[in-house]
Amino acid sequence: METVQATGNRTSKGILGLITDDQGRCIHYNSVLDIVANRCSVCKKLYSCYKCHNELEDHPFGAVSETEPDSVMCGVCGSLYSYKAYSSLTSCRTCGSSFNPRCALHRQCYAKNTAASS
């Protein structure tokens, strides 16, 4: 089976993915609230979503530590947060844009809880 090589693009803030606008929305997630990009712990690139990442990179999206700084970017203003800080917010501290509360459903894709006891 032939693989179609998807081609990505990037926003002016540097978010990579199959981007559909300059605030970081992509072909997978493009509601008004989908403005957040996540960093992969493997390639350290900021992607619009893990699906975009997995289509454009040769490795699966690597979850970051929740406390790793600069792991989540607001696609509107470019502010960076740790996943932990981001998950405690409902809107961007800098520009006030609302974040998508449903992102929490994908938490395990993007971040690992390093505080968990083993």
Q: Does 33 bind Zn ion (CB under 5 A)?
A: no
Judged by DSSP in three states, 74 sits in strand
Phi-psi region of 88 (alpha: psi -120 to 50; beta: other; left: phi over 0): alpha
Length of the chain: 118
Stretch that binds Zn ion, among 1-9, 65-73, 76-84, 102-110 (CB under 5 A): 76-84
Q: 């693989």: which residue's tokens?
A: 3
Cα(58)–Cα(36) distance, integer angstroms: 22
Q: 């606008």: which residue's tokens?
A: 21
Residues 1-30 that bind Zn ion (CB under 5 A): 26, 28
Rule CB under 5 A: choose which of 34, 51, 82, 103 binds Zn ion.
51
Residues 97-116 that bind Zn ion (CB under 5 A): 97
Instruction: Name the residues that contact Zn ion, by CB under 5 A.
Output: 26, 28, 40, 42-43, 48-49, 51-52, 57, 74, 76-77, 79, 92, 94-95, 97
